[in-house]
Structure 1
Amino acid sequence: MSNREQYEETKEKFIQVIAKNMNLYGITPSVGRLYGVLYFANEPMTLDDMRDALEMSKTSMSTGVRALTDMKMVESTFKKGIRKDLYKSEEDWYKSFTSLFGNRWRHHTETNIEEADETIEELEKIRESTNNEDLKNTINSDIDRLRYAQNYYKWLMKFIQVIESGEIFDLIPKE
């Protein structure tokens, strides 16, 4: 095996690790591999370049690039004389993480807050319409649990704000 082949194989192993670990953020392995290829590319790549490197369809490449762009992990760029869209990876992983983490957690946390609010509202209606004291006590207990959950979600929203604002780096500096 030549040094070039060893180099490519070693790099490919790390790209596979990136792809596997990006699953934690809800990113499919194929899109994770796409990010890995862009990360190691010395020049911005076109969709055709990516398709050739990954042996995936142009449609899959386009969908993957759009997803990575939405997550601020890839950005489009321009190069004089090239008419096709070019893309490069966002090399500031701290920025990518804070954006991705914030967006995903904010969405899920807001959904959980809304669901807790609606559940409390429904339980209060049931409590008002029943004469069953056991059911009323059970509902009161459940509402207490839901209020605890709401407090947790409010705390989590503050935590997300610390991540999104970059304040996290005052507490845990970048390496």
Structure 2
Amino acid sequence: MDLYGITLSIGHLYGNMYFNSAPVTLDEMSETMGLSKTSISTGMRTLMDLKMIDKVWGKGSRKDLYEASTDWYQNFADYFSIKWRKAVETNMHALNKSLCEMKELEQEGLEQGNDQLVTIVRRDIAKIGDALQYYRWLLRLIDALESGEIFKFIPKEENPQS
């Protein structure tokens, strides 16, 4: 689970749920793992945010039930889509803001006849453009992960054998 940046205790929680044959409550997980209900709840929330577990309905149960998602391909796609999209959007916002500031600086350099400044700023504008181009590509990769289109290019294994 380290690949997903998940702590050892949350990894154990997921593993316990993955090998459980039925949906579980927070109380059951707390008892099974010997952890506080608060710790289990926090871990469950983390796993739900990462789409690695789902809240499910259970006949006759008034408590929330949870079960692990067993589609590891989808777990991978969801996890990296969530993390990468957030990072890409943050970085693109910062780069676009910097790009606006750099264009203003370029205009000032042109108005002042400062060719050295204009040269440096234009070089930096090009570098920002390269970064934005990369992030637009990364967004397309994220879209392909989210839509499942990636599996056309790198198919899932059918009936994988251990």
Output the TM-score relative to the length of structure 1.
0.81
1:151 to 124, 128, 133: 133
Higher helix share: 1
How many Å apart are 1:129 and its aligned residue?
2.1
Percent identity between matched residues is 44
Opposite residue 84 of structure 2, the aligned amino acid is W
Secondary structure, aligned partner of 1:68: helix
Output the TM-score relative to the length of structure 2.
0.87
- 1:3 matched residue in structure 2: none
- 1:116 matched residue in structure 2: 95
- 1:142 matched residue in structure 2: 124
Opposite residue 146 of structure 2, the aligned amino acid is E
Backbone CA RMSD of aligned residues: 1.5
Q: How does 1:84-95 map to 2 (within 5 A)?
A: 84-95=63-74
| Alignment of 1:70 onto 2:49 | yes
How many Å apart are 1:172 and its aligned residue?
1.1
The whole-number CA distance in structure 2 between the counterparts of 1:24 and 1:133 is 48
Unaligned runs of 5+ in 1: 1-21
- 1:50 matched residue in structure 2: 29
- 1:170 matched residue in structure 2: 152
Opposite residue 82 of structure 2, the aligned amino acid is N
Equivalenced residues, count: 154
Secondary structure, aligned partner of 1:81: coil
Of 24-33 and 94-103, the range deviating more from structure 2: 24-33
2:107 to 128, 138, 141: 128
Unaligned runs of 5+ in 2: 158-162
